[in-house]
Every structure is written in C-alpha cells, then in structure tokens.
C-alpha cells in the first residue's frame, strides 16, 4: 500500500511539473513578450520611428469636423491625439495657438483618446457627438477654457452655460458607433506609437514633448520643415472633406475599456 501511495505522489508531482513547464511557463513567457512597451522618444520629443504610408493614411483619415485650427486649403495637416483630462494637452495647445497666430497654412485636427480612464472616455464621446452636430469648435473651446478634471456632470454645466445643445449631445454620445470610434482612436494611437498625450503627427513625424514644453517658434520650425518635406515627398496627406457624421465611420477596435492611469513624467501614458 505504501508503495502504491508513494508511486501515486511521485506521478502527481511529475504531472504538476510537466503542466507548469509545458503550459504555464509558455503562457507566462507569452504574456511577458506581449507586455506594452512605450515607444522611444529622443531628447527633442520625436519618436524614434518613421511613420510608413499605411500608418499615415490611417492617422489622417479622420473627420474634418474635429478641426480646431485652419481649413481644408491649409498646406499642412496636423493630427493631435488628445485626452480631455490631460493638463499637458492644454499647455501644448496654448502654445500651438500662439504659434498659429503667425500663420494660416496649417490645419489642426483632434483625435480624442481616453488614456486617462472612464471620464476621458465619456468626454471623447461627447467630442465626437459635438462633431456630428457641427458644434465641435465651440465644444472644444469651452472645455479647453475650463480648468481642472472634467467629467460628464461638470461638462454638462459648462456646456449648458455656453449655450450648447447638451441634452442632444449626450443622447448622441451614447450611440454604439461613437464608442467604437473612440476605441479605434485609442487602438490606432497605440499601434502607430502615439503612446502619450498629447501626441502630434506633423507630416511624417510623430512628436511627443516629453518632460519639456514646446515653444511657439519650435512649432513654427516643425511646420516649415514638414511643408518642405511634403512638397518633396511622393506621399500626399489625404484631404478628407467628409461630413461630420464620418467621425464614427472608422472600423471598431477590439474591446478595450480604458482603465484609469496616472501621469507619467510630463505626459499621460497609454493604458497598458
């Protein structure tokens, strides 16, 4: 009896070890390999990668109703991955407005992302709804001018005070396709390397001002360089003049409900 008990225990131990080696360990290693790794950024804030034509086409295939500066005739188009609860987004946009006072040949379009959690997800959906209703510039200006953390309740107060159609905006923001468009924005940002907010796609370059504040003259220099580069390049930035409801025509991303995240250095990092 003791012999059989000993044999049973030895076999059980061997089975557990084998299970751990052939199943648990590979799954653990797979999880380690798939762990999110933030993109490298040089000391000037540029990502250490070149955006290829396919990525650029996806990034610039966005709704023109989300424009905050410039128009469809602008020589250069800039896309900003933007979180409405990111204080650094406000700082950089303030500088961007200063730079844009000197010129009118750059168009700036927002891609709302919910890197900082559920409140940011709700705000991004409101932004998309505002775009569909044709009131995005007023929406963005109102939220941009409001200090502090923003959630739906606070947004309702400030937007209503500004005379915007808040109830209709809330109703539209609950549409499934708008939520899917926001999830797509986040998925796209992570795939192309825009792992922090704000992230600026300026021409072919991905700019993320890490641990520094951009000066107006630096934005102006980037614009001039990229307009010159674009003129010499075979790739042409698509000029999407789709109507406002095109904001929700992007394909849906896999389920990726945003989780609350803490500030990383001078920017907010993508949820892992």
Ranges under pLDDT 50 in the chain: 16-34, 240-266
pLDDT score, position 88: 93
Euclidean distance between CA atoms 5 and 45, whole angstroms: 65
Which residues 6+ apart lie within 8 Å of 95 measured at CB?
213, 214, 215, 216, 219
Domains of the chain by start residue, with CATH = 39-269 (3.40.30.10)
pLDDT score, position 71: 82
118-132 and 166-173 are packed helices; what angle lies between their axes, rounded to 10 degrees?
A: 110
* SS3 of residue 130 by DSSP: helix
pLDDT score, position 39: 75
End-to-end CA distance of the chain: 53
Q: For the segment 209-220, what is each residue's pLDDT rounded down to a tens digit?
A: 977 899 999 999
pLDDT score, position 5: 54
Q: For the segment 108-157, what is each residue's pLDDT rounded down to a tens digit?
A: 999 999 999 999 999 999 999 999 999 999 999 999 999 889 999 999 99
pTM score: 0.75
């Amino acid at each position: 009896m003791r012999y059989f008990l000993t044999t049973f225990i030895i076999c059980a131990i061997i089975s557990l070890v084998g299970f751990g080696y052939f199943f648990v360990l590979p799954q653990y290693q797979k999880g380690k390999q798939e762990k999110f790794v933030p993109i490298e950024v040089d000391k000037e804030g540029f990502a250490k990668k070149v955006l290829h034509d396919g990525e650029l086409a996806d990034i610039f295939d966005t709704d023109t109703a989300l424009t905050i500066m410039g128009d469809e005739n602008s020589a250069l188009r800039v896309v900003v991955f933007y979180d409405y609860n990111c204080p650094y987004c406000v700082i950089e946009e303030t500088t961007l407005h200063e730079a844009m006072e000197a010129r009118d040949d750059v168009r700036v379009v927002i891609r709302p992302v919910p890197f900082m959690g559920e409140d940011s997800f709700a705000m991004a959906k409101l932004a998309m709804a505002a775009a569909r209703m044709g009131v995005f510039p007023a929406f963005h200006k109102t939220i941009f001018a409001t200090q502090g953390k923003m959630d739906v309740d606070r947004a309702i107060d400030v937007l209503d005070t500004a005379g915007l159609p808040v109830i209709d905006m809330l109703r539209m923001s609950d549409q499934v396709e708008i939520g899917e468009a926001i999830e797509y924005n986040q998925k796209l940002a992570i795939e192309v390397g825009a792992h922090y907010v704000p992230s600026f796609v300026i021409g072919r370059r991905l700019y993320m001002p890490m641990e520094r504040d951009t000066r107006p003259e630096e934005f102006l220099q980037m614009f001039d360089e990229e307009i010159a580069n674009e003129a010499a390049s075979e790739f042409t930035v698509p000029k999407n003049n789709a109507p406002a409801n095109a904001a929700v025509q992007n394909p849906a991303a896999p389920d990726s409900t945003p989780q609350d995240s803490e500030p990383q250095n001078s920017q907010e990092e993508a949820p892992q």
